Chain A
Amino acid sequence: MSGAPRAAKPRPSSSIDESLARRLAEIVGEKRVLFRGGELLAYSSDGLPGYFKQPSIAVFPGTRDEVVAVLRVLAERGAPFVPRGAGTGLSGGALADGVVLLGLNRLTHILSVDPENALAVVEPGVVNVALSRAVSSYGLHYAPDPSSQAACTIGGNVAENAGGPHCLKYGVTLNHVIALTIALPNGEVVALGNADGESEGYDLVGAFVGSEGCFGVALDVTVRLSRTPQSIRTLLADFSSIDAAARAVSSIIASGILPAALEMMDAATIRAVEASIYAAGYPTDAAAVLLVEVDGPTAGLDTDVTTVVRLCREAGAREVRVARDDIERAKLWQGRKKAFGAMGRISSHLVVQDAVVPRTKLPEILARVHDIAERYRVMVCNVFHAGDGNLHPNIGYDANNPDESARVHSAMREIMQACIDAGGTVSGEHGIGLDKLPYMDALFSSESLSAMCTLRTVFDPDRRANPGKVVPVHSCREWHMAPSARSTSTEHA
């Protein structure tokens, strides 16, 4: 987080906004354009708590033609805009501060499914889990499964390069997007990638996935579906120390078994979950539990289960139990997927971070996180994708208490720096958005940040799409080149 949360000042809509709103209403209909203060409240925050940024206008096109028409009008007027899916993002990427918010959640059609080639073409507003449901009868599913999958959209997943517990084995959104049709910020429609064979040239699909709404808007997304595994085994191992659980993670990864998911929850998380309606039967006296899932063909799977059980025991697990049926399995997972919700019961505000460290550094970094939390007198809950080294330290607090807020933000800054120092990064799946901008300078050189700005400028020369996100504005300087060549640099800036 980049400072104390603050409330937006009530912002009277200007005549310019009203004129633009009227123009947009001609395209999408009056009901689909919001511009009065009260109407915009629901769109003044996203999944990142503590921030409140009011858009000038929120517009909700219902078809791809409407999206393109809206973008053209915004381009004519030179109006910056922020694309938004379900607004479940945790980095503030969908916050629109006095600019137009472009909602894409009405584009919910699954355009085609090709079960034989395990491909689907979807509109950006299709909800993640709805896609998996729609293709389940073919024995297929869409593998990336963020915890918000019941609400988040594929378009938002593409923008954030979303992950989820099962990305350990199956890969993140990037590995599942084959092709895209996008509208550039100027309204120009471009096809990226090729679902019908190989293509040459630069990997624009790779560049677009994870561009956090700064490169344009996806109009349709061709995704690769995954075969539903023949068998799944879900295990819960409980430990009397976090260190022991972290060592179990390292030895499972090093053993060569690639679990479908390998998740850790610490004592504070377990207690929050067990006190909530999502109680999963986790042992409340454990210092940490590991949720391990292995999947694949039935043959040989139990050998892997046996190995995982042994490795957990060797690392000091008190008990390892294997879910007996789908009901128990679903219950174990529900506790994990609803952990953030469960913590929301305890505190009015929750900051969730998303740093990643090399997996061998997990025991060390979790000890550091513990020390930092003690020093700042804050309560950190750890619930995270241990198999990827992707930490999600959460701190619950009262944002209206300035002293507590300040301590929380200082603790978070130190945790992030510790993860960077351990050779890690500041975001594994939530994105940089607004929230992690202050860390980008610690992570990348000014040359690297400048190169990222340059890439953005190719897609959006006017820099109107999701302004002020991902790369700090101060690093978006002129493109650097050899001293003798600088005189010609402006045209490429």
Chain B
Amino acid sequence: MTTSPGAMELRDRVREAAAGPRALRVVAGASWLDANRPVRAEATLEMSGHAGIIEYEPGDLTLTARAGTTLDEIAHVTAAHGQWLSLDPYGDSSRATLGATIATASYGPLAHSFGTPRDVTLGVEFVTGGGEVVRGGGRVVKNVAGFDLTRLVTGSWGTLGVITEVTVRLRAIPPVQATLIIDVGGAETEVERLRGGLRALPFMPMAAQFLDPTAARLVEAGDRVGALLVRLGGNEEAVRAQREQLRSLADTREADADVWHRLRVLESANAAVVRLSRRPSTFSETWRTAMRMVERWTSPAYCHGDPGRGVSRVVLPLTNQTAVDELRSVLETPFQGSRVYERIPEPLWNVLSSSAIHGRLQRGIKEAFDPHNVLNPGILGESQ
């Protein structure tokens, strides 16, 4: 496979930076710039011009596009053939790019059934911090040739290489879809009952999200109570049965299809966001902690969570008056599980999560692929 002229230009920019060394901030749609740890960079590597779909053969259900291609463009082109890319990360999909989605391993409600970027990425081209254009994987749906550079850069936040091109697996959009709402009272036992009930259903919904009362109100899925949104899909008969089976669990009502879009774009630009996770069987405890964080926050915070993945996402809007200590105290609400911070004010990173790069292997990989530390330095913290 040949390297595109655009990738060669980007390679030259990285080589110049490595020679400096002069740190680069890799930027595409600029919609998630405040995500993750602060970056110390002297220049910007602009990716949004490096856009466009390179190859799309609907019969193969695969698509290859340059990194700066927006998720909206991909959705538009594939929808014409009844297909989609099953990645729906939170944020503005008219600005979110394929490269950034893969680089940050961002995902949304559809991950419930279709997985995260690691599950849909088939191949990548990227420029290493040493200024080499490298390819991993390929354009076919099954591939074990060579060591897996694709998984390596997926979720590496641009710190190992600048992704220039991505090949992804697509899926057929189910012929019939529906989203049902179940009202959820505050009781933890009710959350646990619904979680267990969902799991026992003979089908796996495309997506399932608990919303706290605020989120439910904001996406127009409830009033004063929380909600469970369940997305169904399949052929007509399958969806009819799914509806009935869901009704055996609780009273349901129909949501309009846009409810998922409203959830994706709900959060304000200025908010602290943390994901809490444990094994799915303990979801109700994770959810309780998320609700507790929301209750403790002053401005209209909210949370939503995927019982199948065992993850709850807490969004705490910030204002100019926000006291960092108060925020820290809420974020440190006791919880026996994993916390992944998406966005928090700069001073809090050092105290809450100074680095994601731990141990000899992580450190060694970073040093090998970006020996001069010029790619998004700091975004995953310093090597420890």
Contact = CB atoms under 8 A, between A and B. Distances in A.
A486 to B, nearest CB: 9
Contact of B172 (A172, A256, A385): A256
Interface string A448-463: 1111101111110000
A480 B148 contact: no
A481 B151 contact: no
A211 interface: yes
B148 A207 contact: yes
B377 interface: no
Interface string A58-84: 000000000000000000000000000
Interface residues of B, number: 91
A202 B82 contact: no
Nearest to A173: B144
A2 interface: no
A269 interface: no
Interface in A405-429: 423-429
Interface size class of A (residues with CB under 8 A): 35 or more
Contact of B132 (A174, A388, A451, A459): A451
B188 interface: no
A389 B141 contact: yes
Contact of B152 (A194, A207, A227): A207
A481 B132 contact: yes
Contact of A432 (B140, B145, B175, B366): B145
Contacts of B238: 296-297, 299-301, 303
A430 B131 CA distance: 32
A206 B148 contact: yes
A284 interface: no
Interface in B73-129: 82-83, 105, 115, 118-119, 128
Nearest to B204: A227
B337 interface: yes
A45 interface: no
Contact of A203 (B21, B141, B155, B367): B155
A348 to B, nearest CB: 28
B281 A117 contact: yes
Interface stretch (A233-241, A319-327, A336-344, A357-365): A357-365
Contacts of B356: 200-201
A485 B361 contact: no
Contacts of A440: 145-146
B315 interface: no
B365 to A, nearest CB: 5
Given A190-B361, A304-B235, A485-B371, A424 B138 contact: yes
Nearest to B17: A482
Contact of B134 (A190, A451, A488, A489): A451
Interface in B125-178: 128, 130-136, 138-152, 154-156, 160, 171-175
A199 interface: yes
A301 B142 CA distance: 26
Most chain A Cβ neighbours within 10 Å, of B119, B278, B364: B364
A303 B146 contact: no
A15 interface: no
B368 A250 contact: no
B361 A389 contact: no
Interface in B334-366: 337-338, 340, 353, 356-362, 364-366
Given A211-B147, A445-B135, A385 B338 contact: no
Given A114-B279, A194-B338, A492-B368, A448 B136 contact: yes
B222 interface: no
A256 B174 contact: yes
Contact of A431 (B131, B144, B172, B368): B144
B338 A209 contact: no
Interface in A438-493: 440, 443-445, 447-452, 454-459, 470-471, 479-485, 488-489, 492
A214 B144 CA distance: 14
B213 interface: no
B368 A457 contact: yes
Contacts of A335: none
A447 to B, nearest CB: 4
Contacts of B136: 448, 451
Contacts of B240: 299
A202 B365 CA distance: 9
Interface string B15-47: 110110100000000000000000000000000
B175 to A, nearest CB: 7
Interface stretch (B53-61, B265-273, B287-295, B321-329): B53-61
A459 B361 contact: yes
A254 to B, nearest CB: 5
Nearest to A357: B140
B264 interface: no
Interface in A296-340: 296-301, 303-304
Nearest to A167: B142
B380 interface: yes
Given A303-B235, A388-B141, A458-B361, A452 B58 contact: no
A257 B310 CA distance: 28
Given A198-B338, A481-B371, 12 more contacts: A160-B144, A188-B360, A200-B340, A202-B361, A207-B365, A297-B242, A299-B202, A300-B234, A303-B237, A425-B143, A448-B136, A485-B18
Interface of B: 14-16, 18-19, 21, 57-62, 82-83, 105, 115, 118-119, 128, 130-136, 138-152, 154-156, 160, 171-175, 202-204, 234-242, 275-281, 310-311, 337-338, 340, 353, 356-362, 364-369, 371-372, 380
Q: When A and B form their complex, which 5 residue pairs have the shortest distance between CB atoms, in order from nearest?
A: A206-B151, A300-B238, A256-B172, A299-B241, A197-B338
10 contacts: A171-B115, A200-B340, A200-B353, A202-B362, A255-B172, A299-B238, A426-B145, A445-B133, A450-B132, A482-B130
